[in-house]
Copies of this chain bind each other. A is one copy, B any other.
Amino acid sequence: METTARKSLDGLFNGRGVAIMGASAKKGKPGHSIVENLRAAGFTGNVYPVNAASESILGFQCYRSLEEITGRIDLVVMVLPADDCVEAARAIARRKDGKGDISAAVVVSAGFSELGTDQGRSREKALLDVLVPRGIRVVGPNCLGVMDTYSGVNTNFDIGAYRRGGLSIITQSGAFAVSYLKWAEPGRLVGLSKFVSLGNMSDVNVVELLGYLADDDRTSVIALYLEGTRQGRALVETAAHVSRKKPIVALKAGKTRIGSVAAASHTGSLAGRFEMYQGVFRQAGVVLAESVIEFYYTAAAFAKMPLPRGNSICVLTVLGGPGTLCVDELVSSGAVRLARLSEKTKSELRAILIPAANIGKPEGFIDTTPSFTEAQHREVLKIVLGDPAVSGVIYLTTPPLFMDEDALAENIIAAYESFAPEERKPLLSVIGFGSSVPRLRNRMEEAGMPTIEYPDIAAKVMINMVRYSRYKSRFDEH
């Protein structure tokens, strides 16, 4: 990626002066929430609300215009009626021509090309014609813009603070990404690095963001919600390169002709043929999720767990039924097989588990029965994770009432952490009703252990990890 493009995106994520055109003193207005959320995200740079009618908003002094702001501005957020945006862009341009400091603009406002009208399209073009030639990068319009949990930059009117982590999100639907983050919040399932809601994607686009995030040390996995792009070939080529370094987990909307009409009315994007995306994405190493929940859990697991170094999975279950559902899903994929446990492993397990436990029927499947204490979890998981024939483990339980949630969590975590980081294998835990055992789930997630509510989804996540690992290993070897 060329240096100037990278530098211009740096201004988006790492600006130290943020002006908000359309900042509002009225609680509940997006122009108020943006100021509120920027503060909530821990931004320590300068916040400049532009509002001619108010003295200050949330303690930040207001300015009547950009010109009045004496400090350096890196990023301007526009949250104005669509009719006023072109005039605002001209004000940005005047400032840029004079002081030269603004490097990016996030246009939150809607009412542009997504309307499908000539007026909407020409308004969007006018906006870009003023800003882009001056080297000002534009995110949107019709978007939530950017969040960076490390720098504290945040233009999102819906989410303020969010826990930090390795997952970055690129999305053509702000609402979709917000749903994901809020869904994950109570269970602490996701730690976020960067968030970019692209809206109509008039300038800053998915292709260059993929390239940018590939080189971002704080991003270990990229979650991509895509409706469509005119840069299909560039997208696939870039994705194939990025996937050699880190996983891209994608969800594609507009799979059907009718769905693509909905997508077009949403962000003006062309959905393209889904089958085309499916084929080329898979070749490019992109993990294409088949459902929203698979997308959610897969992206979260990649951010927390190491990759499997093979496709031999052990299913360790306290529960016959959910264990069976998990096995069904794993083996029907064709990508994964159940691990052939060593005789040593089996005899060690026999010495710990009760005689009624099922060790190896079928091969690689262990049903402990509910007679399985907190402390035994540690011993058994160490044995199973330590078997060289095992590439990864799915563990399934619904903790009985009498089980100590904390002790269970500590034993599982201790078993996993007893291995040196470079020897660790993915361990996905199916906690059958996560929200009923928040202590267990939260403790495990905080320690970086993914907890998934559904046995078949855990299987799909593991399959995705195996497939991606196989793609990546082709390049690691060279």
Binding site for B on A (CB under 8 A): 27-28, 33, 110-111, 115-116, 158, 171-176, 178-179, 182-183, 185-187, 225, 227, 251, 253-256, 258-259, 261-267, 291-293, 315, 318-325, 327-328, 331-332, 338, 356, 358, 361-362, 365, 367, 369, 398, 400-402, 432-436, 453-457
A438 — nearest CB in chain B belongs to which residue? B186
Q: How many copies of the shown chain assemble into the complex?
A: 2
14 sampled A-B residue pairs with Cβ under 8 A: A28-B402, A110-B356, A173-B324, A176-B322, A178-B432, A179-B322, A182-B436, A262-B327, A262-B367, A263-B320, A265-B365, A292-B322, A292-B454, A292-B457
A259 — nearest CB in chain B belongs to which residue? B328
List chain B residues, Cβ under 8 A from A454.
291-293
A184 — nearest CB in chain B belongs to which residue? B433
Contact of A266 among B227, B265, B321 (CB under 8 A): B321
Nearest 8 interchain pairs by C-beta? A173-B321, A266-B320, A179-B432, A28-B402, A259-B328, A175-B319, A182-B433, A176-B321
Report the Cα distance A140→B362, complex, angstroms: 23
List chain B residues, Cβ under 8 A from A158.
398, 400-401
List chain B residues, Cβ under 8 A from A28.
401-402
List chain B residues, Cβ under 8 A from A115.
356
Report the Cα distance A328→B111, complex, angstroms: 25
Closest-CB distance, A179 to chain B (whole angstroms) = 3
Report the Cα distance A27→B403, complex, angstroms: 12
List chain B residues, Cβ under 8 A from A369.
110
List chain B residues, Cβ under 8 A from A322.
173, 175-176, 179, 292
Report the Cα distance A261→B358, complex, angstroms: 11
